[in-house]
Copies of this chain bind each other. A is one copy, B any other.
Amino acid sequence: MNMINGGVCAAKGFKANGIHCGIRKNRTKRDLALIVSDVPAKAAAVYTTNLVKGAPLAVTKENIKDGIAQAIICNSGNANTCNANGIEIANAMCNLVSNEIGINANDVVVASTGVIGQPLDIAPIMGGMKELAEGLSYEGSQVAAEAIMTTDTVLKEIAVEFTVNGKSCRIGGIAKGSGMIHPNMATMLVFITTDVAISAEMLSKALSTDITNTFNMLSVDGDTSTNDMVTVLANGMAGNAIIDSEGEGFDAFMKALNTVTVALCRVIAGDGEGATKLLECTVSGAEDMETAKKCAKSVICSSLLKAAMFGADANWGRVLCAIGYSGANVDVTKIDVSFRSTAGEIEVCKDGFGVPFSEEKAKEILLEKEIEILVKVGNGPCTASAWGCDLTYDYVKINGDYRT
């Protein structure tokens, strides 16, 4: 498997574009993205478990229930959620795409992100649709990725090349997500495209399996958004023998998909609102995956641990504390904790008790940009990772007055 350029346009037959249409006041910020496959594609999606759901999710769910989609439209600057006319506006967005590029309105995935509870005006979207469609390009991934950003400071794009039964295939994705991130069964906005030939059923299976180890193990601030969605379109243009059951081809696809999703998780966590560091907690030695996951996620969700990491303070007691209240059934007298980064690795807790360590060395390790928190909870066979970020002054600043 090779990392390649191109994001959502890396796979054969996918064009994209992103423009400023006027939803946002800042004219230098793109706010409308479109991704289109040359041919109808198999589609799968997972959605937020929040009971308050953005209107676009309901429309998308309806549109892809036949397992087919050909385009994705997404605006930033307004979540189109908790508005009386939300469904109407989301459908209007699909119709505009349909009319402009001549595909079925039912084959459009629609998404919105931004502030909740303010009506989304269709006028700027209508006004920008022609420019958006005319600018579609096989090199358009980056501008599409820009157009879905909200408080993101880093563009989130990745693609890899892999092989299915001798055929070269590609998969790539873009994402937005910085705050209100604590996905559950789905996440933020992630759009993945691939040219692999795969049945809708296996595509859906691949996605729903993968997210339990990737986006569901990611948290910036413990808040599960109302608009989370991950979608994948597979247009089959790679020409491989179709993947319609488990086996070697499916495994190769799962591996490629996982490479894309883990990379997006890491970049989303590292670009968490106000974050200065990416935190990766890996819990090993668990008796079962559930235990490993609960522990890892609890650690990266702890506000206290997140603040300690901001201060480069090796306060491992907060790691133990977070495991203790995680709900996981572990023997606390078997827990070992180490911190690791490019500056080295240091053990700070052994069998549930503190071990003497160099505070100076620990500080050096924790001053790096990517910190691994390594936890061993016993001698079981299961390992899980979770991703998060530090808690900083800037998180508070960004969210203290988001709407204005």
Verify A308–B82 contact, CB threshold 8 A: no
Among B48, B318, B396, the residue within 8 A (CB) of A391 is B396
Asked if residues A404 and B313 are in contact (CB atoms below 8 Å), the reply is yes
> What 0/1 readout, one digit per residue, does chain A (320-335) give for beta carbons within 8 Å of chain B?
1111110001101000
| CB of A67 closer than 8 Å to a CB of B | no
CB <8 Å contact, A223 and B399: no
Closest to A325 in B: B224
Would A315 and B222 be within 8 Å (CB), given that A51-B332, A83-B354, A325-B49 are in contact?
A: no
Q: Is A14 an interface residue (CB 8 A)?
A: no
Question: Closest residue of chain B to A348, judged by CB?
Answer: B117
Residues from chain B with a CB closer than 8 A to the CB of A112 are none
CB pair B393 A321 closer than 8 Å:
no
- Contacts of A143 on B, CB cut-off 8 Å? none
- Complex CA–CA separation, A88 to B144 (angstroms): 62
A160 to chain B, nearest CB (A): 32
- B353 touching A117 by the CB < 8 A rule? yes
Q: Is A115 an interface residue (CB 8 A)?
A: yes
Q: Does A316 contact B (CB under 8 A)?
A: yes
Q: Does A246 contact B (CB under 8 A)?
A: no
Chain B positions within 8 Å of A49 at CB level: 325
Majority DSSP secondary structure for residues of A touching B: loop
Are B325 and A82 in contact, CB atoms less than 8 angstroms apart?
no
Which of A117, A184, A225 has the most chain B CB within a 10 Å cutoff? A117
Task: Count A interface residues, CB 8 Å.
Answer: 66
Q: Does A13 contact B (CB under 8 A)?
A: no
Known contacts being A321-B180, A330-B51, is A399 close to B307, with CB within 8 Å?
Answer: yes
Once the chains bind, are A304 and B221 in contact (CB under 8 Å)?
Answer: yes
Q: Cβ of A116 < 8 Å from any Cβ of B?
A: yes
Whether A5 sits at the interface, judged by CB under 8 Å, is no
Task: For A349, give its contact among B82, B115, B179, B392 (CB under 8 Å).
Answer: B82
Q: Is A369 an interface residue when CB atoms closer than 8 A count as contact?
A: no
Q: Digit string of A371-404 for contact with B (CB within 8 Å is 1, else 0)?
A: 0000000000000000000011101111111111
How far apart are the CA atoms of A404 and B312 in the complex, in Å? 11
Tell whether A40 is near chain B: CB-to-CB under 8 Å.
no
- Oligomer: number of copies: 2
| Complex alpha-carbon distance, A362 and B330, angstroms | 47
**How far is it, in angstroms, between the C-alpha of A115 and the C-alpha of B321 when the chains are bound?**
11
**Within the assembled complex, what's the spacing in Å between the Cα atoms of A117 and B335?**
13
A354 touches B317 (CB 8 A): no
From B52, B303, B311, contact of A303 by CB (8 A) = B303
CA–CA, A223 and B404, complex, Å = 31
**Which chain B residues border A81 with CB–CB below 8 Å?**
317
A261 within 8 A of B: no
Selected from B53, B116, B223, B318, the residue in CB contact (under 8 A) with A302 is B223
Bound Cα distance from A311 to B399, whole angstroms: 8
Instruction: Closest B residue to A85 by CB, please name it.
Output: B353
- The distance in angstroms between the C-alpha atoms of A180 and B323, with both chains bound, is 14
Give every chain B residue within 8 A of A312 (Cβ-Cβ): 401
Q: A50-B325, A179-B304, A226-B324 are in contact. List 18 more A-B contacts (CB 8 A).
A: A50-B324, A81-B317, A82-B317, A82-B320, A83-B354, A115-B317, A117-B349, A118-B354, A119-B354, A182-B325, A222-B301, A222-B303, A223-B322, A224-B325, A226-B320, A313-B402, A392-B396, A396-B396
8 example contacts (A-B, Cβ-Cβ < 8 A) are as follows A51-B324, A52-B332, A52-B352, A115-B315, A116-B317, A117-B316, A184-B325, A313-B402
7 smallest beta-carbon distances between A and B, as pairs: A116-B317, A311-B400, A52-B324, A307-B399, A224-B325, A117-B354, A50-B324
Residues of A within 8 A of B (CB): 48-53, 79, 81-84, 115-119, 179-180, 182, 184, 221-226, 301-304, 307-308, 310-313, 315-318, 320-325, 329-330, 332, 349, 352-354, 391-393, 395-404
